[in-house]
A and B are shown apart, each in its own frame.
Chain A
Amino acid sequence: MEAVDRAGKTCVSNRFVVALCVCRRSRSYPWCDTSHRRRARGEERLDPADGRGARSGAQEEGGRDGGDVP
């Protein structure tokens, strides 16, 4: 699986499934590192990128690999 980040850099993962970061908080961008999770005390963090509240259950999807991995 190859993913191109906004800077145009190509990142490669050989994992059977990859989880792509769509909240843009991941420190392992473009891969998910679970940074999307809601913070304690039921507060919602506004996502500065698109203004949506980030809540558990509205996290990025685990994307099935396209099938190029054995």
Chain B
Amino acid sequence: MATYRESRALSPPLPEARGVVSASVCTALGEGRAVAITPETVAAADPFGDDLQLALHVLYELHYQGFDGVDDRREWDPELLRLRHHLEDRFLGAVREAAPGGEGDTVDEALAGLLVEPRGHDPTSMTHFLQREGTREQLREYAALRSPYHLKEADPHAWVLPRLHGRAKAGMVAVEFDEFGAGHPESIHARLFADLMADLDLDIRYGHYVDATPAEALASVNLMSTLGLHRARRGALVGHFAVVEVTSSPGSRRLAQAMRRTGAGPAAEHFYDEHVEADAVHEQVVRREVVAGLLADEPHLEPDVAFGVRATVLVEDRLAARLLNAWRAGRSALRRPLPP
């Protein structure tokens, strides 16, 4: 077996712009100039669309891995941060409108629907689809478009650690410790995902598939980043994490079966098998320690936690709809098909 080359050994090139907003961000970074864009242009951008989501993605990546040829100090460029603030307001405003909370918005209510598994087949679920009829090509597409998250799995949630204390902090750190390999670099979940990608003959280099990744999948990662980076959104970040951990175990079971059925390879199976068991534990710790611990200390955050839950469900449902529409029509779900 070839030696593993770290997927994040290098910073990726800047992606291709998808409209005026992302073009102004990429040009400013690529040419080392100040960003120039009017508030009217931002206000006109579709909050869920390719242009705004890619612009946000690029701005957040300055905090994770940066870009080849871009000065690392641009992470704290006040003009870029100001623009990011406008884009975040557009995005989260649209999410709030599309996923409004009811009267007496409780976390238990927001999570209740997720703690129920469908009896039999769920035609709106992409993991049910992939389990039953997903082809190797569709599994490769799924891995490629999830790679902007899984190659930095659990990193967006680590931003919340200094904003928590007591039970919530201890629980969150324990789950993150597991996500980061529990002391073993070869078991870091991001590394397990790179191994999965290698089984599927995908390029493991960080950022390689961003240009092919649809807006709906970028939005999923952008949501985590915006919730993680703002202390004011710590409640929503915790709600987001609860959804990820609660839904992961049964979904991972289905994806592990899809990998086995298509003969994807041992690392591809292992990534999802590991998540079946790990996330059954993570779910318990997140609900009992992180969510309950946070709300015991800061009960006023309950609507924020519930918002984080609803926002995550909304964004993931939009992604599932995009993928299922494309695959059921026999089309690629990516912006450009993968080379075979």
Contact = CB atoms under 8 A, between A and B. Distances in A.
A40 B117 contact: yes
Given A14-B182, A33-B276, A39 B117 contact: yes
Contacts of B117: 34, 37-40
Mostly, the A contact residues are: loop
B253 interface: yes
B325 interface: no
B280 A32 contact: yes
A29 B299 CA distance: 37
A61 B288 CA distance: 10
A15 interface: yes
A62 B277 contact: no
B178 A31 contact: no
Interface residues of A, number: 24
B278 A15 contact: yes
B278 A40 contact: no
A32 B177 CA distance: 20
Given A40-B116, A43-B119, A17 B285 contact: yes
Contacts of B278: 15
Contacts of B277: 13, 15, 28, 31-33
Nearest to A61: B284
- Which 5 A-B residue pairings sit nearest by Cβ, starting from the closest? A62-B284, A56-B115, A34-B249, A39-B119, A32-B280
Given A15-B281, A38-B117, 6 more contacts: A13-B277, A17-B281, A33-B253, A39-B117, A39-B118, A40-B117
Interface of B: 112, 115-119, 174, 177-178, 182-183, 249-250, 253, 276-281, 283-285, 288
Interface of A: 13-19, 27-28, 31-34, 37-41, 43, 56-57, 61-62, 70
